[in-house]
Amino acid sequence: MDLTKSTIKQAHEGLKKKEFSCVELTQAFLDRIEIEDKKIEAFLTVTKELALTQAQKVDLKIKKKEKISILEGIPMVVKDNIMVKGEKCTCASKILKDYIAPYDATVIKKLKDLGAVILGKMNMDEFAMGTSTENSAFKITKNPHNLERVPGGSSGGSAVAVADNMCCYALGSDTGGSVRQPASFCGVVGLKPTYGSVSRYGLVAYASSLDQIGPITKTVEDAQIVFEAISGVDAKDSTSINFKIDNSKVGLKGLKIGVPREYFSDEINYQTKEIIKEAIEKAKEQGAKIIEISLPNLKYSLATYYLIATSEASSNLSRFDGVKYGLSKMGETLLETYLQTKQEGFGEEVKRRIMLGTYALSSGYYDAYYLKAQKVRTLIKQDFEKAFKKVDVIFSPVAPSPAFKIGEKINDPLSLYLEDIFTVSPNLTGLPAVSVPVGKLNNLPVGLQIIGKPFEENKILDIAKIYA
């Protein structure tokens, strides 16, 4: 039996029945990482010592015949913008190259309390700014389905580790599609929860009103398990919300599925469109009602997203000044220290987004750009609220096409931004959305996006089970 192919549930059952020990399970993944990561380059840090120590504790518990939770002893990985105490947290940036996290993020504390085994920190686009994991300061991660293709971004390393059986599950962050798009490109399941359902404490901020931590898993069932473990209100995050997870099962019979005509325009590759249409047809065959809907302000979502995200990024990233933490390049004056630190520490894409955001927030332009974007955001939110009065969930593509070639778009930032065209609206509106694999095009995975009403993660995940 190849232990690395285990889902969360399979690994849990094996540990309970003592078919293998937690150390054996962990070592199997560590051995695979050692072989596979040489060509895939998904890991920034392998936390071998931490993982084996955690695994030994679980084995001791099993030996004492104590009950173990479903995530206890299950090896997982963490995107490198989420704090794990005592381990590096670089955000794939030179400015935080040697930064050691002084505390655990709330999601990590919850998983540690449940006995999770942390195998490592994963490569990503620097400060989560990108859609291909080519913007990392340290390495370019490859897609396991085709090493010449990107894995998507910005949670590319996390998605690759799950797809290539280097862990059972992963945590990523999603600001405009950074969990769903790499999940789609790598053929795994990626959930962006409702804004406020999962604490952001300990996640290095990119755009605070859009960021959300979410699971990347091998199966939909595993995504449900991880979401239930990490969700809930947190006193350390004032935007987190106390809500009750609805565990009632959802059937497809009579379910109203909305298909926005705006999502099936010319931006989408014809063959990708056909795969998504087949997935919609599959739901119809199982009793769902397909209803065409319109989201008229959706055409403004990408521009709105990039104005809000870059504006918030320019504010959030001002803390990296060479004084408090991270890289410090001392100049003769304080201003010189700021400038030299940021010039050397930040990559080109991060600088581009900081400058865009600073311009949008500057005197004389705030009303014309940032304020207007927030007003349009409200209109987009109202479009979805109207749609959800007619339908239960919304189906759409995740990306316009499957994974593109490494280097193909890196010198054309606008074409990379267009990769987010289908994924930014759930972030702008705070809605939950899941990417589930529904087919392949030229041996490259294609994902379907299912968008739900606030806090209806279990509903969209139940629906997704017909595909994965």
Residue 362 in 3-state DSSP?
Answer: coil
**What pTM did the predictor assign?**
0.97
Say what the pLDDT of residue 248 is. Answer: 79
State the SS3 of 59-116: HHHHHCCCCCCCCCCCEEEEECCECCCCCECCCCCHHHCCCECCCCCHHHHHHHHCCC
Q: List CB contacts of 62: < 8 A, sequence separation 6 or more.
A: 15, 16, 18, 21, 22, 68, 73
Confirm if 434 and 461 have CB atoms less than 8 A apart. Answer: yes
Confirm if 127 and 211 have CB atoms less than 8 A apart. Answer: no
Whole-angstrom Cα distance, residue 255 to residue 405? 38
pLDDT by residue for the chain (468 residues), tens only, comes to 799 999 999 999 999 999 999 999 999 999 999 999 999 999 999 999 999 999 999 999 999 999 999 999 999 999 999 999 999 999 999 999 999 999 999 999 999 999 999 999 999 999 999 999 999 999 999 999 999 999 999 999 999 999 999 999 999 999 999 999 999 999 999 999 999 999 999 999 999 999 999 999 999 999 999 999 999 999 999 999 999 888 778 889 999 999 999 988 777 888 999 999 999 999 999 999 999 999 999 999 999 999 999 999 999 999 999 988 899 999 999 999 999 999 999 999 999 999 999 999 999 999 999 999 999 999 999 999 999 999 999 999 999 999 999 999 998 999 999 999 999 999 999 999 999 999 999 999 999 999 999 999 999 999 999 997
Report angle CA 6, 459, 132 to the nearest 5 degrees: 60
Confirm if 25 and 15 have CB atoms less than 8 A apart. Answer: yes
Strand ordering across the sheet containing 169-173: 43-46, 117-122, 75-79, 169-173, 213-217, 189-192, 433-441, 444-451, 393-397, 256-260, 289-293
Q: List CB contacts of 10: < 8 A, sequence separation 6 or more.
A: none
Query: For residue 18, which of 61, 53, 50, 71 has the smallest C-alpha distance?
Result: 61
Other beta carbons less than 10 A from residue 369's beta carbon: 20
Instruction: Please report how many Cα atoms fall inside a 13 Å half-sphere around the Cα of residue 76, on the Cβ side.
Output: 29
Say what the pLDDT of residue 247 is. Answer: 79
Whole-angstrom Cα distance, residue 181 to residue 409? 16
Say what the pLDDT of residue 466 is. Answer: 94
Say what the pLDDT of residue 436 is. Answer: 98
Say what the pLDDT of residue 92 is. Answer: 98
Domains of the chain: 3-230 (3.90.1300.10)
Whole-angstrom Cα distance, residue 387 to residue 375? 19
Say what the pLDDT of residue 244 is. Answer: 87
Confirm if 445 and 185 have CB atoms less than 8 A apart. Answer: yes
Expressed in angstroms, the distance from the first to the final Cα of the chain is 22
Instruction: Please report how many Cα atoms fall inside a 13 Å half-sphere around the Cα of residue 236, on the Cβ side.
Output: 12
261 phi/psi in degrees, rounded to 5:
-65, -25
Whole-angstrom Cα distance, residue 25 to residue 403? 31
Other beta carbons less than 10 A from residue 24's beta carbon: 14
Say what the pLDDT of residue 68 is. Answer: 97
Write out the catalytic residue numbers.
79, 154, 178
Identify whether 328 is preceded by a cis peptide bond (ω within 30 of 0).
no
Determine the length of the chain. 468
